[in-house]
């Protein structure tokens, strides 16, 4: 297939996927609504429960204010209507627009997770490739053991140990938060300050993904190395570096891209545990708190955004497949 044909096929796929997207979003919005409302309890009860005092008027007032006194189907219709008009509603608990709450928390989460994701992907695939190319060597054994240890280490434990060593014992890094509170910093100092705060949460979060990508890349490289086309390349007299870069890595990356694409969606949802341990004001914590509080509009808003992000990332993953593996542009995939 020509290069032009390949691009046209990708464009067609993108258009067809976008059309599917709208239908899928409505189905997801309905499913989310049903799922969220299936859990016992309502936000009025939670609010009353936490206040240590309650009476019928308080519950009636809150349910009326939240629109929970209306029939279930009316509430569903109202929700879908809002989704269609791109209105995510109003938080019961925080009494603010859901879109504001999400946008307020999203940058912190993206900064944390995208950095961790990129680092994990870069370092993981590099280490995995090195281990795979040197399969059976001491280097391979060291990398394999290291990735196993990282994979098996609970994220919250790693986070707390880092705090204990680098904050409490050595005093090198700030233990919590996104930035130093209540100090005046120049823009450059502010960036440095945020980076300093990022080191431990990013390291904790990246560790597990790094291990996954390293293990995946290693086995993928070993598998590709035994393929006939590699033997052919060698028989043709290609140099070792050309074989590795031009043939082995390109093919070995396909499963890594698949897994990375799936995980990227989850990463946007925020790393609840890491955000909790490091008091990182991100989307993951907002989701968790909204779930506990039964703050339906916030939950539904976040779920919807995440669903869209996952769909878009899957679409991008499909497109990337086709760029790194020309066989997939035939439409068979």
Partner 1 sequence: MLHRVTFAEIECVTRGDGEVPMNRREFTKAMLAASAAIPLGITRAAGQTRGGTLNTIIQPEPPVLVTALNQQQPTLTLGGKIYEGLLKYGADLKPMPGMAQSWEISPDGMTYTFKLFPGITFHDGKPMTSEDVVFSCMKVLTETHPRARQNFARVATAEAPDPLTVVFKLKQPFAPFIGCFDCTSAPIVPKHIYDGTDYRKNPMNDKAIGTGPFKLKEWVRGSHVHLVRHDGYYVKDQPYLDEIVYRVIPDAASRALALENGTVQLVQWSDVEFFDVQRFKTQKNLEYTTKGYEYFAPHQWLEMNNRIAPMNDKRFRQAVMHLIDRDAFNKRVYFGNAKVATGPISSKTRFYDANVKRYEFSVDKAKALLDDMGLKPDANGKRAEIKYVVPPYGEVYQRSGEFFRQSFARVGIDLVLVGTDMAGWAEKVGNWDYEMTQNLLYQLGDPALGVARTYISSNIKKGILFSNTQGYSNPEVDKLFEEAAVTLDDAKRQELYTKVQQILVEDVPVAWTLEIEYPVIYDKAFKNIVTSGIGSHETFGSVYKS
Binding site for partner 1 (CB under 8 A): 39-43, 45-59, 61, 65, 93-95, 101, 104-105, 108, 156, 160, 163-164, 167-168, 171, 175-178, 181-182, 276-279, 281-282, 285-286, 289, 291-294
* Structure tokens that stand for 112 in this block: 């944390």
What whole-number distance in Å separates Cα of residue 192 and Cα of residue 186? 10
The least CB distance from residue 266 to partner 1, in Å, is: 20
The least CB distance from residue 155 to partner 1, in Å, is: 12
* Residues 245 and 125: beta-carbon distance below 8 Å: no
* Residues 66 and 43: beta-carbon distance below 8 Å: yes
The least CB distance from residue 45 to partner 1, in Å, is: 4
The least CB distance from residue 274 to partner 1, in Å, is: 10
Residue with tokens 């993981």: 124
What whole-number distance in Å separates Cα of residue 224 and Cα of residue 140? 17
Beta bridge partners of residue 90, listed in sequence order = 97
Between 151 and 166, whose beta carbon lies closer to partner 1?
166
Between 41 and 81, whose beta carbon lies closer to partner 1?
41
The least CB distance from residue 117 to partner 1, in Å, is: 21
- Write the CA distances from 140 to 41, 47, 149, 223, 278, integer angstroms: 52, 55, 14, 15, 33
* Structure tokens that stand for 199 in this block: 């080191």
Between 60 and 189, whose beta carbon lies closer to partner 1?
60
Between 105 and 215, whose beta carbon lies closer to partner 1?
105
Between 174 and 265, whose beta carbon lies closer to partner 1?
174
What whole-number distance in Å separates Cα of residue 223 and Cα of residue 129? 12
């Amino acid at each position: 297939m020509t290069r032009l044909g390949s691009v046209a096929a990708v464009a067609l796929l993108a258009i067809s996927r976008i059309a599917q997207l709208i239908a899928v979003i409505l189905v997801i919005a309905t499913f989310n609504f049903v799922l969220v409302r299936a859990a016992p309890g309502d936000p009025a009860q939670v609010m009353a429960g936490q206040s240590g005092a309650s009476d019928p008027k308080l519950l009636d007032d809150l349910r009326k204010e939240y629109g929970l006194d209306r029939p279930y189907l009316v509430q569903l219709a109202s929700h879908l209507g809002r989704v269609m008009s791109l209105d995510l509603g109003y938080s019961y608990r925080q009494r603010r627009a859901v879109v504001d709450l999400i946008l307020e928390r999203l940058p912190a989460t993206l900064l944390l997770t995208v950095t961790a994701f990129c680092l994990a992907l870069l370092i993981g695939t590099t280490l995995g490739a090195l281990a795979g190319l040197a399969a059976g060597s001491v280097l391979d054994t060291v990398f394999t053991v290291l990735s196993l240890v990282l994979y098996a280490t609970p994220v919250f434990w790693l986070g707390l140990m880092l705090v204990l060593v680098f904050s409490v014992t050595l005093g090198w890094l700030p233990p919590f938060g996104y930035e130093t509170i209540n100090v005046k910093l120049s823009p450059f100092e502010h960036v440095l300050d945020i980076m300093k705060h990022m080191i431990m949460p990013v390291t904790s979060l990246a560790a597990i993904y790094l291990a996954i990508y390293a293990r995946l890349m290693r086995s993928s490289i070993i598998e590709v190395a035994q393929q006939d086309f590699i033997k052919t390349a060698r028989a043709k007299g290609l140099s070792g570096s050309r074989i590795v870069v031009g043939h082995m890595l390109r093919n070995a990356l396909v499963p890594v891209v698949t897994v990375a694409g799936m995980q990227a969606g989850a990463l946007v949802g925020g790393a609840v545990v890491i955000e909790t341990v490091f008091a990182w004001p991100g989307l993951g914590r907002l989701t968790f708190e909204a779930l506990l509080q039964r703050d339906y509009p916030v939950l539904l808003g976040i779920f919807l955004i995440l669903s869209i992000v996952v769909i878009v990332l899957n679409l991008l993953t499909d497109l990337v497949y086709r760029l790194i593996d020309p066989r997939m542009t035939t439409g068979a995939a």
